[in-house]
Amino acid sequence: MTSYVFITGGVVSSLGKGITSACLGAILEARGLTISMIKLDPYINVDPGTMSPFQHGEVFVTHDGTETDLDLGHYERFVRTAHGGRNSNFTTGRIYESVIAKERRGDYLGATVQVIPHITDEIKESVEKGAGDADICLVEIGGTVGDIESLPFLEAIRQMGIELGHDRVVYVHLTLVPFISTSSEIKTKPTQHSVKELRSIGIQPDILVCRSEQPLPMEQRKKIALFTNVQEQAVISAYDADDLYKIPQMMHEQGLDDIVARQLRLDLPKADLSEWEAIVEAKQNPTSEVSVAMVGKYMDLKDSYISLVEALQHGGIHTRTRVNIHFIESRDIEERGVNCLREMDGIVVPGGFGDRGIEGKIETVRYARENGIPYLGICLGMQVAVIEAARNLAGLEGAMSTEFDKRTPHPVVALITEWQTETGAVEQRDEQSEMGGTMRLGAQQISLQEGSLGAISYGKTTIEERHRHRYEVNNNYREQLEQAGLRFSGLSVDDLVEMIEIPNHPWFLASQFHPEFTSNPRDGHPLFIGFIGAVRKYHERELPKVAEA
C-alpha cells in the first residue's frame, strides 16, 4: 500500500517546495524505498505547454511526451525511481476539464456538480492514479496556503488524511523565516501565521521546513514548535546552501527522513548518501575551470533553461570541471557582433520558439564553426546550425526555416507537410501522428551513424531521447548539405534528422532532441560529458584564443 507525503508552502512562493520534495524523495530512495512524485498546480491552464517561459520557466517533457511543470525536472534529477508522466502533473484546468467531460457524458446521473465532492474526488483519484504502486508518493501542492486557487487541492489532501489514516499520510509545510537586517532579528511570526492559515482549513502539519538565510538557532526552533503545535525535532532548518546537491545530506542530518519513516511506521535501513557526497566532493574540487556561452532568447529568466543549465553542470561534475555559464541574449549579438564570445571556451545554443534573435543565433553558430570552438546545439540550436551551413557552406543564399520566413527560397527547415517526399515514408508518418501542425513530443528511438561523434559519445548506435518541436530538417536538402560538409549522424526510425555534426571540427554536434531532460548529477549524460570534456581541452590548449571579430 502506498503512503503519501503532502508538501505545501506558505508566506511567499518560490521558497523551494520542488527542491525540498525532490531531496526528501532522494533520501527516502536511499533508504530502499520506491518513490513516485506528483505536482498539483493551481493555475487554470490545462498544462504548461502554452505558457510563456518568462512567466512559468521551463516546460519539462517526460518520457511519454507530457509537457509538465519544471519541478518534475527536479524530481527526475534527484530520484531515479520517480519516472514522471501524464499522471505526474495535474493542474486546476485539467481537473475541471475532466469533471466537465464526465458531467457532459452523464456520469454524475444528473447531480449538481460541485467543488465538494466532485472536484475534490477528481483530485483524489488523480493523486491515487499518479502514485502507482510506489512505496511512497510525494505530492507537492503549488502556490501558497491562503491562495483561493489552491483551496480545492488542500481540501482534497485533508480528506485523504482522514480516509487513509495518520500512519499513511504525512503533511510537510514549507515556510519562510526572514532575517531583518536593520534590527538583526529572526522573525518567526510569518511561519506562525502560515501554519494558522493551514490549520484553519483542517490540516495540522507534521513537519515544518523553515527556509532562512542562515541555520535556524535552537531558540527559534523551540518557539516555532511551541506556537505551531509541531514537535521540536520536526522543525527543519532549510538554510541557504552554496550547492543544491548538499541539501539531501543537510536534511538527512536533521532527521527529516527519520520523522517521515517513524510516522509511517516503516522499518528502514540507514540512508546511503555516498553518491551525493561524491557529487559534492567533485564540485568542490575541480581540476579545471571553463567558460561556456549560452546564447538564447530567454536569458532574463534562468529557469527557462534550468534543465540545460543543470546538465552542463553535470558534465562538469563528471569531468572535474567548474563550468561558468555566461547567459547571452542573441539579440545582443545581432546588435553588437560576436566579440562577447571571444573569451568563451564553448558555445551552446538552446531550444526556443519565435524569430526574435534568430540571426544572432545563426551568427553564433558561424563563429563557433569557423573558429573551432566546441559547439552544442539543442533543438532550435540544431536548426540554426543547418541554416548556417546551408548559407555559408552550401551557398544557399536566403536559406531559412519556414517558422521564421514563409517565403524563403531555401526552406531547409520546415513543417513535414511543407516538404513531403515521394518515398511515402514521411507522408505515412505525417498521416499517422498528425505532426504537420502539432508537436513531436516525448521519447523516440534514434539510430546513430557508426563512428560518428554521437555514437562515440553514447557508446552505442541506438538511443532514445525526448523531443519537443514542430519543425524538421527538410530531407530534400540533405544530399546537398552533406556534400557541403554537414554530417547527418542521427536519424529517427522514419528518416527524420535527429543529429548533425561537422567532421573536421574539434567538437561540433547538435541534436533535434533534448538530452538535458534525461541528465542527472549521479549519471550525467554522454553528450554533456563529451561536450564539457571538449570545452576543457579547448581551454587548456596552447594556441591563443581566436582573434577579435
- Is 516 noted as a catalytic residue in this protein? yes
Q: Are strands 179-180 and 185-186 parallel, antiparallel or unpaired?
A: antiparallel
Residues 140 and 129: their CA atoms lie apart, in Å, by 15
Residue 18 CA: distances (Å) to CA of 38, 128, 236: 10, 20, 16
Ranges assigned E (strand) in 142-223: 169-176, 179-180, 185-186, 207-212
Residue 192: partners with Cβ closer than 8 Å, 6 or more residues away = 224, 227, 228
Is 159 within 8 Å of 127 (Cβ atoms)?
no
Rg from Cα positions in the chain: 25
| Strands 60-61 and 67-68, sheet pairing | antiparallel
Parallel, antiparallel, or unpaired for β 35-41 and 89-91?
parallel
Residues 49/149, Cβ–Cβ less than 8 Å: no
Catalytic pick among 379, 403, 472, 525: 379
- 340 is a catalytic site residue: no
Question: Coil, helix or strand for 209?
Answer: strand
Annotated catalytic, 514? Answer: yes
Q: Please give the single-letter amino acid code of residue 215.
A: P
Backbone torsions φ then ψ of 38, nearest 5 degrees? -130, 140
Cα–Cα distance, 401 to 438 (Å, whole number): 16
- Residue 237 contacts residue 175 (beta carbons within 8 Å): no
Q: Calculate ∠ Cα 308-251-248, nearest 5°.
A: 30
Residues 279/522, Cβ–Cβ less than 8 Å: yes
Nearest to 525, CA basis, from 438, 466, 449: 466
- Cβ atoms of 252 and 27 within 8 Å: the answer is yes
Residue 282 in contact with residue 524, Cβ under 8 Å? no
Which position among 56, 467, 514, 539 bears the catalytic label? 514
The burial of 83, by beta-carbon neighbours within 10 Å (0-12 exposed, 13-18 middle, 19 or more buried), is given as: middle
Known catalytic residues?
379, 514, 516
